[in-house]
Amino acid sequence: MGHTGTTRRHALVVTGALAAGALTGCADGPSGGRDGDGPRTGGASGTTTAAARRALAGASGALRDQYDAVIAAHPALAGRLTPLRSSVAAHVTALGGTARTAGPGGTGRVPAEPAAALRALAAAERRVSDAHTTALADAEPELARLLASVAAAGAVHAYLLAEPGAGPANGGAR
């Protein structure tokens, strides 16, 4: 009997494609895809765009730090979480935030149970994905494309975290 619906393998392929698209989209255009210096049209809109990028990069940075905290508290989950954490770190960089390597840090308290820690990460992914989706309404086209890709990747991350046994280190779909 065939499997219907989204498979873990499909979800991982989509995540990889979205991450690649987000990173490739950042390198397009005369400004290298970074609106941090303002859009090509200039004006007050450039300040708004730069402020939005900083805020969204900060939200993604806090999520990256939460991954670090969960990995530190539950080393057995590292194989499953490291690829997702790397993707979130790439989102931070794409949004103009500060890149850093994995290390100590994190936000808040990590649940003692691994399953609860994964649920908390999934909820955080959904919140950040929702923030990126909400920001689409006011974003300039170049930033909107990036936000759409990052939001979609976050939604896939949330799915992978919520599904028991899903994720790259747990064998994925066979």
Q: What's the whole-number mean pLDDT along residues 112-120?
A: 95
Mean pLDDT is lowest, of 3-12, 32-41, 78-87, 130-139, for 32-41
pLDDT at res. 38? 40
pLDDT at res. 98? 83
Cα distance between residue 29 and residue 102, in whole Å: 30
Structure tokens at 69: 């905290």
Mean pLDDT is lowest, of 7-11, 23-27, 81-85, 136-140, for 23-27
pLDDT at res. 99? 75
pLDDT tens for each residue of 146-163: 999 999 999 999 999 998
**Banded model confidence at residue 168, pLDDT cuts 50, 70, 90:** low
Instruction: Please state the pTM of the whole predicted model.
Output: 0.68
Which domains, from first to last, does the chain contain?
46-167 (1.20.1260)
Place of tokens 């840090």: 105
Give the CB-side neighbour count of residue 85, counting CA atoms within 13 A.
Answer: 23
Place of tokens 């805020």: 55
Residue 15 has pLDDT above 80, yes or no: no
Cβ contacts of 18 within 8 Å, gap of 6 or more? 149, 152, 153, 156
Residue 80 has pLDDT above 90, yes or no: yes
